[in-house]
Amino acid sequence: MQFENLLVERAGPVATVTVNRPRAMNSLSFDTLREMEEAFASLEKNTDIKVIILTGAGQKSFVAGGDISAMEKMPPMDARNFALLAQNLLNRIERCRKPVIAAINGYALGGGCELAMSCDLRIASETARFGQPEVNLGIIPGWAGTQRLPRLIGKGRALELLFTGDMIDAGEAHRIGLVNRVVPADQLLEEARKLAEKIASKGQVAIGLIKDAVNNGLEMDSARAIGYEAELFGLCFSTEDQKEGMNAFLNKRKAEFRDR
């Protein structure tokens, strides 16, 4: 796939999508959002791809947010449509049948932080910085930051970041549960690929059902979510992967999943 603002590369079952606008701190314009939508739609359909890594070009910025130069004079309806376009992309990433790992190599601010939160897992370099500084611009987050942030780190911590617009470092982001792990900058992509390859080695039917159970279950009350999990658990027993996995365990050999 060839894009103006993205690089898409594949190594075995792992695809890497790089936002490639380093001169603009990898900020997200209308065109970049549309390209990302196209890229993720294509990768989700590709049965050879099992895990997707999302990162930013260069060492300074993952994604610094929305393109403020394009946003400054937007009429209200254009601003709403911009937010809806971004929300649709982030929802696609969150609901993607394949695990998505954010490899956060620098600033993840505003829309960049919201983008990272839509991914399943987040690995940050020691130089990464996070924040929702929209209040400093006289606006609020518009790409679901007011919803995903409190779900990840709790209401009180989320409101403090949203009210103050403060930026936090990678260590603090890890402490409050915003990222899964922090690694040296020169090891970021290597560690992301190791994790991606480990996940890719599992049965992908089960991986997809885990995403369904977690994402959908979070929107249900506890009793419904537990029942939903039982339904998905039972569904696993209709798959070849379940038979292979249990047979391999009982015979003390490595399972060879076929993702069906």
Q: Kindly tell me if the per-residue pLDDT of 25 is higher than 80.
A: yes
Q: What pLDDT is stored for residue 156 in this prediction? A: 98
Rg over CA atoms, the chain: 19
pLDDT at 42: 96
- Confidence at residue 28, expressed as pLDDT on a 0 to 100 scale: 93
Average pLDDT over the chain, rounded to an integer? 96
| pLDDT tier for residue 15 given thresholds of 50, 70 and 90 | very high
Asked whether the predicted pLDDT for residue 1 surpasses 80, the reply is: no
Question: Quick one: pLDDT at residue 72?
Answer: 86
Please determine, for residue 67, whether its predicted confidence score (pLDDT) is greater than 90: no
pLDDT category at 21 given cuts 50, 70, 90 is very high
Residue 237 has a pLDDT of 96
Residue 47 has pLDDT above 90, yes or no: yes
Please give the average per-residue pLDDT across 2-31, as a whole number.
94
List the catalytic residues: 114, 134
Our CA dihedral for 219, 223, 226, 231, rounded to 10 degrees, sits at: -90
Of 18, 20, 12, 90, the residue nearest 51 (C-alpha): 12
Q: Is the pLDDT of residue 60 over 90?
A: yes
Residue 213, pLDDT > 90, answer yes
**b/e code 175-198 from CB counts within 10 Å (16+ = b):** ebebbeebbeeeebbebbbebbee
Q: 128-166 pLDDT, tens per residue? A: 999 999 999 999 999 999 999 999 999 999 999 999 999
Structural domains of the chain, with CATH: 6-200 (3.90.226.10), 204-250 (1.10.12.10)
